[in-house]
Structures are given as C-alpha cells and as structure tokens.
Chain A
C-alpha cells in the first residue's frame, strides 16, 4: 500500500511539473480523495467544498513538512505558491460531501450533537459545520478521518497552523471523540 502511494506520488510530481490544465493535474489527487468531492478511501479526507484558505494552509504545511504525512509531503514538495492557490481554489469549488444514505443511530447522534454544542464547534466551524476561512468544513467528512484527526489534535501529534484545536480537544475523551466523529459524518 505504502509503495503504491509513493509510486503514485512520483507520477503526480512529474505530472505537476507540466503545464496541463488543473483538471488533469488534480486527477491523481482525486484518485484517493474522490472525484466528486467525496472520498471512498479509508482515512483519506473528502475535499469537496473545503474552505479555500484552509486547504491552502494544509497544502502549504504539507509542502513545508509542518504537517507530516509522507505521501502528501512528497506530493506537495514540488508545488509552487501559485500551484497551492490553484489547487485549493479548485478544491473549494468541488461539490460538498453528502451524508451516508442511512440515518445514524439516534442515541449516538444525540450524544454527538450535544458534544458539538457543549464544545462550541459551531462557533468557529459555523452552525452547519461548513467552516469559514482558515477553519475547515467538517460536515459529512469521513468518520474514520474525523476520529483520527481529533485524536491527533488531542495528543498534539497534529499541531495545526495555530494551536487552538489542541486546546479545544484537551478535555474531550476518546469515547466522546468517537461520538463526535459519528455525528459529524452523518449530520444532515
């Protein structure tokens, strides 16, 4: 799996170097992240309608290795500042991810929703969790990616651009993280 990603990264880098239109340049990204804004790949985030300033910050951090995930660091390595803007603007215009067809289990949904309110996720991420500016859209993000990311913020293995999420996650337990991710992935 890892080798495949690295090989893919190599293909992507050579692709980026060319002057192809953005739709072609971004195609290898979407092979994992989903062509219609919705990721079908385990632990890999959906990118659709992501806030452009947030996407730009993440791409920048991958390029600078301020956010460490080797395949993404490799992919972003050769991108220019202008490329980063181009990709983040394109991502922002892709369709937003949709919730899974089946409704969530009511008790868990209720617990998750209560946690969103209690911890004021909505104050930065917007009431519909669509995000704004440098604060990401999290609504209907993949549950596995949400849970992993919240855990990484909590144990400070993912620093973020500033440190606000580490502070926010400090009092939230692993069980609560699971409920939060369950609800946010399925909210309508």
Chain B
C-alpha cells in the first residue's frame, strides 16, 4: 500500500489543513495536489507540531540528524535514520515479486550484488555506472555477449554517490571532490584511477554526498547540501554550482537548496528541475519535499527560511516572507526523501509518459507512519508546474517497513527504465509491453 497527498480545497479553506493531511486518505488515487505557489500561505504548524529547534539537547552539533527532535515524545524518540544491510541481497532474495507496476509494465532484476547501489549513469556503449554512499565503490554493469556482469570500476573512494557520463568520460562525485575517468568504456577491464577536476568543496558529512549531472549547456552541475537538518550556514553550502567539464569556470547558480539528490533538464524548455528534501522534526506532515525548477541563475529556493514555498521556518523564518524566494513547482510528500528524478523521453512507454518526471522516493525515516519508498510520476502543466503525482512502482514499503529503497531512475536508449535500490544493492529494469525477460 502506498499513500499520496491529496488536499481537497474545501479542507484547505476550512482551516483543517494540517490535521486533514492523513496520507492514507488518498491511497492509490491519482492525486492532483495544487502547486505550492497556488496554495494559501500556511500559518505556523498547528497544535501538535512541536516548536522546532527548542527541544533536543543544545549540545548536539549542527550536523546531527537528531538536532531539533522534540523532547518528551516517545514516538519521536523512536525515529532515527535507517541503515541499510551492508551485504547486498542475493538475486533470489530481491523483492521484485512484491513490487507493483501499472498494467502492461514489467519489472525484472537488471543487476544485483552491488552493495549500497545509489546514483546511475549510462555510457555511450551501454555500460551502466552505479555510485555508492556507505561503501567506497563505483560499479560498472557491463554488457558482454548478451550477458550482464558487475565489475568494481573504482574503489577506495569516499562516499562516491554521484556519477555522470559525457563523451566517453565518467565523472564521479565523492564527498568533497569531483574526478573523472576518460575513455572509461574502453578500459573497463583495467580502468585508470580517477583524476580530480574540482575539490573546492566542504567536507561536512551531513548532506555531503552528492548527485551530479551534465546539463544541455555541457556543464557539470554539482550541489552542496546544508550541513545539518535545519541550520544557518555560510556561502559554501546549500547551493547548486555548475562548472566546465574540466572543473574550470565554477559558478554558484542556485541557493536555498537544503539537499538535492536528483535533477534533470526538461526535454523541451531545457530548464533545470531538481528534487529537494525538506527539513526534519518540524512535524510529521510538514514540510514536504519539493520539486523545484530553476528559471534564472541566482534563484534562492528558500531553505532554511521558507519551507515548501509557503511555510516560514519557525526558527529561521522570523522577519522573512516566502514571497522572497522561488517556490517549488510541486510537493512530493513529507519526509518522503525524493531523490533521483529524470524526464522520460523514450518511446517504449505509452504516450502519456512522454516528458513526465519520474521520481524515486527513498522513503521517510522522520515519520511514524512511513511515506515514500516508491517511484512516482510527476506530470507537468503547460506552465511547467506540477499537475499530478501518481504511483508508478510501489511495494517497497510493507507494514511500515522497507524491503527495498529506490534511489535513482535512469531512462535507457531502448525506452526502458532502470531503478537503483541501495537497501538491496540492486538495479531493476522496467519495461512496457511483451518483453523477452532478459536476465532471469
């Protein structure tokens, strides 16, 4: 079962906004949440939502995920980030049988045995590159004579979450540096060590792991998250930067970004869309994770002053107004950990999927009743705002427990879609229509 947010207008008007957000109410519906910008500005969280920033021990450092936790709440005390098992699941132990896709779609295991498989990139020759966060490896899923094989492409790296590919070169983002391997697909058996192209990056662990991507402008986009749950920080954090592919000409293009772990460019408008994870411990139901769109260089997306486009932060929002910041074009669920997102431009899926944003929601930890742990489809209005959010792959979340957690999505040349799962160390493949089920 999976939950979606659907907020009837009448409820918004009746002022029952927060208490009415019972996520299960709209289960399995094709929800049509109004774009954040159109919603009436929310007031402070209702009674029941703890005053943020007042509760946890003042001695906790800004990077601690426990900072901001309300004191005296047994329910809150039970919540902490969830560590995945260290060992990847065996292929026959993967949850594919439990995963549900819409009628006509198929799901299969593409490759398994990659501990903590995270971000995805594909090479010109079809090699799929897989980053990791809790181990030190970047993997390559190699196609050879019709068989797929997993190789360790690089090891000894520190939190190598981000991977991107362009013109034969693989780019790898570790915690505080970006490096590259040229002609990588020609050297899969004996790959050279990555060479560093950019390392002027902070070393904070909190939100320090990186998703990276290469834009239609042929520049490499590298974010830096905020160094904690909800913190004021210096100019080196909470941003997205772009640079030339050799690491030169770096410039900050967006601020107020709490932690984006997935982005892509709209196939027609070429605008940058990115997911951003909302802060923890403010309440169970707000703020929601965001789908953002950058319309101009220098946009400020609000964090930590304005959350989800319409809530001024209880701690840092004093004297601020959400109108000062760029609002999200859509909301993606509270604590849902919306990570990887890419636009679908392939020809295999039905026409309705053309140019939709496919988003992997890793799933919440900071919520009593978990939300996310799925892959969703965001359809956009003509003006580029989000029209609807629909389930696509569900079943990772069962009885409030994860049997897998999707991280990234990657459309392939043939129109199929790959999905990574860091909980099981696997990559799945989604196809539409009658397919020869390869890899079984």
Contacts and interface: CB of A to CB of B under 8 A. Distances in A.
Interface of A: 53, 56-57, 60-61, 64, 66, 81, 84-85, 118-120, 123-124, 133-134, 161-164, 166-168, 170-171
B83 A84 contact: no
Contacts of B115: 64
Given A56-B85, A133-B83, A161-B83, A171 B135 contact: no
B60 A168 contact: yes
Given A118-B57, A123-B77, A164 B64 contact: yes
B56 A162 contact: no
B205 A167 contact: yes
A170 B61 contact: yes
Nearest to A85: B87
B136 interface: yes
A134 B59 CA distance: 24
Contacts of B136: 64, 66
- Centre residue among B64, B66, B69, B85 by max chain A CB count within 10 A: B64
Interface of B: 56-57, 59-61, 63-66, 69, 77, 80-81, 83, 85-87, 115, 134-136, 205-206, 208
A19 to B, nearest CB: 20
> Lowest 5 A-B CB distances belong to which pairs?
A163-B205, A167-B63, A60-B86, A134-B83, A170-B61
Given A161-B134, A164-B65, A167-B63, A120 B57 contact: yes
B226 to A, nearest CB: 13
Nearest to A57: B86
A166 B205 contact: yes
A180 to B, nearest CB: 13
- Centre residue among B83, B85, B136 by max chain A CB count within 10 A: B83
24 contacts: A57-B83, A60-B87, A64-B135, A85-B87, A119-B60, A120-B56, A120-B60, A123-B66, A123-B69, A133-B83, A134-B83, A161-B83, A161-B86, A161-B134, A162-B81, A163-B63, A163-B205, A163-B208, A164-B65, A167-B65, A167-B205, A167-B206, A170-B61, A171-B61
Contacts of B87: 56, 60, 81, 84-85
A57 B57 CA distance: 28
Nearest to B89: A81
Contacts of A167: 61, 63-65, 205-206
Contacts of A57: 83, 86
B32 to A, nearest CB: 37
Contacts of A61: 86
A171 B62 CA distance: 10
A119 B57 contact: yes
Nearest to B87: A81
A167 B83 CA distance: 16
Given A66-B136, A163-B205, A166-B205, A171 B59 contact: yes
A50 to B, nearest CB: 15
Given A163-B206, A171-B60, 18 more contacts: A53-B83, A56-B85, A56-B86, A57-B83, A61-B86, A66-B136, A84-B87, A85-B87, A118-B59, A119-B57, A120-B56, A123-B69, A123-B77, A162-B81, A162-B134, A163-B63, A167-B206, A171-B59
Contacts of B86: 56-57, 60-61, 161
A85 B87 CA distance: 9
B134 A119 contact: no
A57 B86 CA distance: 6
Contacts of B59: 118-119, 171
A62 to B, nearest CB: 11
Contact of A124 (B57, B80, B208): B80
A37 B135 CA distance: 29
A118 B56 CA distance: 9
B61 A168 contact: yes
A164 B206 CA distance: 8
A170 B206 CA distance: 13
B135 A66 contact: yes
Nearest to B69: A123
Nearest to A122: B77
Contacts of B206: 163, 167
B202 to A, nearest CB: 13
